[in-house]
Amino acid sequence: MSTGLLVIPNTGIVNILGQKDGRVGPLKAFYRTSIKPLLPGTVTATGDILTFSGLDPSTKFKVGQYICIETAPTKTLVYVADVDSTTVKMGAPDIDKDTGKHPSLSLTIATATQFRPWHLRDLGDLSEEGVKISWDEKVAPTKFAGRGETDANHFSSGGEMKISLACAEMGLEELVSAIDQSALADYDVDGNISSVSFARRLGYNFKKNADSLDLFAYGENGGISTDPRDRARIWLTNFRSAFEQQRNATSQTVINLEGFVYADEKRKKDGKPVFMSINPEAAVFDP
């Protein structure tokens, strides 16, 4: 029996993040997938310049980030190549594979339109090592005076979930986003990454800066599956700097990310905060 990412083969073994009919293949990972709220003010666009009204964009955006503009019938995604107190110089959202840079972008948006930050990052296909999820629920005996230890006083005392991703296609932008404030980028005059430095981030708040991670399976046609059951969402996770690399003339570089997973207090089932959901759009949470 197959229910997408939750597969129950004939042996009765439950295999989370498996694929139906015993098929195997890479998973695709997207990080920071939560939708951010609309910001105050509006924007218009002429050429490669986005002009803001009612907001100083330099207080909300930095070079290297993205803006989602609420145009109709489809939304418009732009790259922040430069920013000052009233305008943003736009770049195309996709990197040119030949140059490794964001091409220039020209738009006309005559009507004042709302917008929001867009932090989603495509971490690419995972390597053959894929994803490893560990969930360790703690059980502690509670002893009362004169009663000793009995089967009536063993209680759950918490739990810890961790995730490890073996990323085979991660670019510099994705690395800077994944290990926020540890991988620090410099940008050229066109807003493209010119250098990345690595720093020790003392006092960094992992939980406060956590975001959602989506994992997609590939469908039978070789593309990403459109079946919502072939998707898992970890509601809050953040990655620590824990990878090591060895590269020679023939090796492919793989970045291993180790993440801490946190229970989401905004999403509860039966009063219990949720770590992860398979087919998240169908999940029904407490009101």
Which residues sit opposite 53 in a β-bridge?
Answer: 42
* Shared domain check, 27 and 51: no
Q: Which of 95, 118, 141 is the endpoint of a domain?
A: 118
Q: What percent of the chain has pLDDT above 90?
A: 47
Q: Which of 118, 153, 173 is the endpoint of a domain?
A: 118
Q: Note whether residue 156 is domain-resident.
A: yes
Residue 135, Cα to own-chain centre: how many angstroms?
A: 19
Q: Which two tokens stand for residue 25?
A: 């293949």
Q: Note whether residue 20 is domain-resident.
A: yes
The Cα–Cα gap between 142 and 245 comes to 45
DSSP 39: P
Q: Provide the whole-model pTM.
A: 0.81
Q: What percent of the chain has pLDDT above 70?
A: 80
Q: Strands (DSSP E) along 92-192, which ranges?
A: 107-113, 115-118, 121-141, 154-167, 183-187
* Shared domain check, 255 and 127: yes
Residue 186, Cα to own-chain centre: how many angstroms?
A: 22
Instruction: Compute how many other C-beta atoms are within 10 angstroms of the C-beta atom of residue 274.
Output: 20
**How do residues 157-177 score in pLDDT, each as one tens digit?**
788 889 998 888 888 888 899
Name the residue range of residue 84's domain: 42-118
For the segment 192-196, the average pLDDT, to the nearest whole number, is 93
* Structural domain total, the chain: 2
* Shared domain check, 108 and 136: no
Q: For residue 136, give the nearest of 158, 108, 153 by alpha carbon.
A: 158
Q: Which of 62, 86, 118 is the endpoint of a domain?
A: 118
The Cα–Cα gap between 40 and 61 comes to 13
**How do residues 229-240 score in pLDDT, each as one tens digit?**
678 899 999 998
* Shared domain check, 73 and 159: no
Q: Give the type of residue at 115.
A: F
